[in-house]
Amino acid sequence: MDFLHNMDWVLPLRSDAATAIANGFTWLGYTTFFLIALPVAYWLWDRDKAMRMTVLIAIAAVLNGWLKDYWQDPRPDPKYWLDQRVAGSYGRPSGHAQVAFDMWLWIAWEIRRRWAYALAVFIIAGVCFSRLYLGVHDIDEVLTGLALGVVGLSLFILFLSPALGAARRWPVIAHLGIIVVAGAILFATWPNGERPETTVGVLALLFGWVAGADMDIRLAPKPPVLPAWWLRIAMSVIGVLVLFALQTGLNRAAHALGIESTATSYVVTALLGFYMTGAAPLAFRALGLVK
């Protein structure tokens, strides 16, 4: 079973070009990518599809964080690492593998085209191999992440079945309450004396996202009519730049006021989620970019 953990095989594969490609694929599993991709999907693709995708990603991220701290499986020896962002975190299961499997196959499921499934498999393979190539996961950790991706995606499809349609139609206050209760449960059940702050931050983003989407749909029940392609690009770029400016501004304000804390970080994260689905679409309509 040594092939599941031995990383020596990856060293001869490395080159400057291959490392650049691996870093590109691995970026698809980091926070910055999701802060760009999720709102752009909501603004320019489909509100309902983006909502389902975001919920699925949040569930996968929460499960991954809990299991990482439960198993406390060490990553490969740091001498193999080409990605130093993993310092201080455990290896199994690979979050990149798990979330990539769920996200990209779900997008393909929503599109239901052969090219979408082929592209999803290509991206998933690229993300998984990038974690091996960069030396921050071994084969065991990547395979575990993929297995959990299969389980999570299957359960999510079951959750969307007609049998659970009534629960999905509960008022938004009930859904927001479920998110808050889920966060409290994570604090109460987090394993091995570790802390769930980062993972609960995912739920804070989801809280703001759901609240903003509810406001957006109430104000504009019909699907938005998008502008010309070049205006869509401009809208996305400006919207994302404002998002990151808002994140920086809120964090600096918290620091200046001396109120930096875990609770404050959750408020900031929830406000970012609300901006993505509530404030930004409202601004786009006010500017006449969408109708």
Q: So where are the chain's domains?
A: 2-169
Q: What is the mean pLDDT of residues 14-37?
A: 97
* pLDDT for position 131: 98
Cβ atoms 272, 243 nearer than 8 A = yes
Helical axes 114-133 vs 16-27, angle rounded to 10°: 120
Place of tokens 């752009």: 40
> What's the pTM value of the predicted model, to 2 decimals?
0.94
Instruction: Mark out the alpha helices in 16-113 (DSSP H runs).
Output: 16-27, 31-44, 47-71, 95-111
Average confidence score pLDDT of the chain: 95
Predicted confidence (pLDDT) per residue in 120-172, tens digit: 999 999 999 999 999 999 999 999 999 999 998 988 888 888 888 888 889 99
**HSE-CB of 127 using CA atoms within 13 angstroms:** 26
* pLDDT for position 245: 98
Label residue 1 by pLDDT band (50, 70, 90): low
